Amino acid sequence: MQIVIVGTGYVGLVTGTCLAETGNDVTCVDCDRKKIDLLNRGHLPIYEPGLSELVTRNVTGGHLRFTADLASAVKKANIVFLAVGTPPSEDGSADLSSLWAVVDQIAPLLVPDCVVICKSTVPVGTNAKVAARLKELSGHEIDVASNPEFLKEGMAIDDFMKPDRVVVGVRRKEVGELLRDLYEPYLRTDKPFLIMSPESAEMTKYAANSLLSTKISFINEIANLCERAGANINDIRRGIGHDSRLGFAFLFPGVGYGGSCFPKDVRALAALARSYGMDPKILDAVHNVNEHQKTVLTQKIEQHFDGKLADKAIAIWGLAFKPSTDDIREAPALVLIDRLLELKATIRVHDPEALNNVRAIYGDRLVYCPKRDDALRGADALAICTEWKQFVRPDFAEMRRLMRQPVIFDGRNIYDLQQLKGTGFTYYSIGRSTVVGDGTT
Ligand SMILES: NC(=O)c1ccc[n+]([C@@H]2O[C@H](COP(=O)([O-])OP(=O)(O)OC[C@H]3O[C@@H](n4cnc5c(N)ncnc54)[C@H](O)[C@@H]3O)[C@@H](O)[C@H]2O)c1
């Protein structure tokens, strides 16, 4: 199989590399020359655990290459994956301009039996429009299949290699069989290969992300209520999670979901519903609850310091939208940083992987600390926005020594309330009572 992946980002690079790993001949294309140059010099433009070794092995083995020359790559391809970004437009709907730019470019170049596969998350009906556009520009029928991606950043290799399921949306049985053959090496443990229409495949992706987001917003709303009503969200989580109908997944309270998928996909599905004259009440509520949740840590900080942050230094641990990635798109930490900058606080940030991405936005307005504990030096408080494993077992006595005031605002509930009692820290978290410096709650 000669496979071309257009768009070499979090999804395209992982997809291309994993497909090369099973012996396919893969060319990853991107219009970002810097990205391609970096890859061709043996460096990765993103952080994803385990990816670097796989890329090196497959480039060395001759199965994987990178280019900015879309035309040359596509001319020989049997399969072209579209994995470009589909970010939100002003009104929340998916911005498909990158996708259409690629479709227009490749249409005249495709060999007659080439199959175009849409991996980007796109609104229902897009695959049909892509097929129509390709036919119009090429003068012949080209098969287009929907194959939404469900990988999670931070676990992307495992998710691709051992997916819970593969979903494909096709018009012709033969295209379904081609895709089944392509994915067969990854479905050895009898996980399902689900064939449906392109419309259903497109909708499946949005429905999955929206339901996961709904669980997060739900538990966050309950957590906020717990704080006011004197209940402990961790107990509630256990109490409901053991119900086999509910389970534990995605029921961790926090400072809201971020990343390049949940926020945009919930809004895009709501926009789709509106385009059909529907009022998407649940989706709007999920989004609004999340927007509010991104501000709860800031509110606690402002309350604690009586709104006077100008002479305060706040340390932030965790900037990526979740652990094990350098992705900061729509990360809750950015909302906190923006507000603290408005209040003229000094901000000392640490993240194991995302510092460079944050520096690219904020420049010299923040103090960047490559070492976790350096962020604490002279800080009046620590705010935790991402639950990196590196933050879970700190030396509280050493932290007290480094900080000017012993205060923690934990946006991810990574510590036990009991653990904090007796440390001298005042400890705020989400959906639980506050531990005051003298150990009372
Ligand atoms: N990131 C995830 O965890 C994830 C998971 C599942 C699905 N998705 C979906 O997959 C798609 C890609 O997401 P991503 O996170 O990989 O995005 P990304 O921004 O990391 O990568 C997209 C890449 O496409 C390239 N690109 C844009 N226009 C191009 C063009 N005309 N020609 C060639 N390359 C072009 C960009 O330079 C970029 O490198 C989106 O639709 C997203 O919703 C993402």
Across residues 193-207, what is the average pLDDT? 98
How far is residue 76 from each of residues 13, 61, 73, 115, 203, measured CA to CA in Å? 20, 20, 6, 12, 31
Per-residue pLDDT averaged across 238-264, rounded? 96
> Is the per-residue pLDDT at 286 higher than 90?
yes
pLDDT one-digit tens code per residue, 316-361? 999 999 999 999 999 999 999 999 999 999 999 999 999 999 999 9
Percentage of the residues of the chain whose pLDDT score is greater than 70:
100
Dist. CA 275 → ligand 1 center (Å): 24
- CA of 156 relative to ligand 1 center, distance in Å: 14
What would the pLDDT profile of 212-236 be if each residue is shown by its tens digit? 999 999 999 999 999 999 999 999 9
Structural contact between residues 118 and 126, judged by C-beta atoms closer than 8 angstroms:
yes
| Protein residue whose Cα sits closest to atom 25 of ligand 1 | 7
Mean pLDDT computed over 1-26? 97
Q: By alpha-carbon position, which residue is closest to atom 32 of ligand 1?
A: 31
CA atoms within a 13 Å half-sphere pointing along the CA-CB vector of 321: 17
Mutate to test the pocket of ligand 1, among 4, 6, 10, 204 (most ligand atoms within 8 A of CB): 10
What Å distances lie between residue 8 and 51, 57, 260, CA to CA?
Answer: 13, 17, 15
Which residues are catalytic, by number?
A: 261
Q: For ligand 1, what atom is nearest to the CA of residue 265?
A: 43
- Cβ count near 288 (within 10 Å): 11
**Under 8 Å between Cβ of 131 and 159:** no
Would you state the pLDDT for residue 205? 98
pLDDT at 112 over 90: no
CA of 410 to the centre of ligand 1 (A): 31
Q: Whose CA is nearest to atom 21 of ligand 1?
A: 9
83 Cα to the center of ligand 1, angstroms: 5
Dihedral (C-alpha) 10, 99, 291, 251: value to the nearest 10 degrees?
-50
Q: What angle do CA 13, 15, 19 make, to 5 degrees?
A: 120
End-to-end CA, the chain: 62
- Ligand 1 centre and the CA of 30: distance in Å? 10
Global pTM value: 0.96
- The pLDDT confidence band at residue 200, using thresholds 50, 70 and 90, is very high
CA atoms within a 13 Å half-sphere pointing along the CA-CB vector of 398: 7
Which residue has the least CA distance to atom 20 on ligand 1?
Answer: 9
Mean pLDDT, residues 83-93 taken together: 96
Q: Name the band, by pLDDT with cuts 50, 70 and 90, for residue 439.
A: confident
Residues 6 or more apart whose Cβ sits within 8 Å of residue 24: 1, 3, 63, 182
Residue of 28, 160, 167, 260 to test ligand 1 pocket, by largest number of atoms within 8 Å of CB: 260
* DSSP E strand stretches across 51-163: 64-67, 79-82, 115-118, 143-146
Q: Phi and psi for 25 in degrees, rounded to 5?
A: -95, 115
- Closest C-alpha to 121, from 89, 156, 94, 98: 94
Pocket of ligand 1 (CB under 6 A): 6-12, 29-32, 35, 83-86, 98, 101-102, 120-121, 149, 151, 153, 260-261
Residue 45: how many CB atoms within 10 A of its CB?
Answer: 17
Closest CA to 306 of 343, 331, 278: 343
Q: Can you tell me the mean pLDDT for 79-96?
A: 97
The tokens describing 419, both together, are: 């653990």
Give me the torsion for CA of 170, 173, 175, 179, rounded to 10°: 90
Q: What is the pLDDT of residue 190?
A: 86
If you ran DSSP here, which 8-state letter would residue 434 be given? P
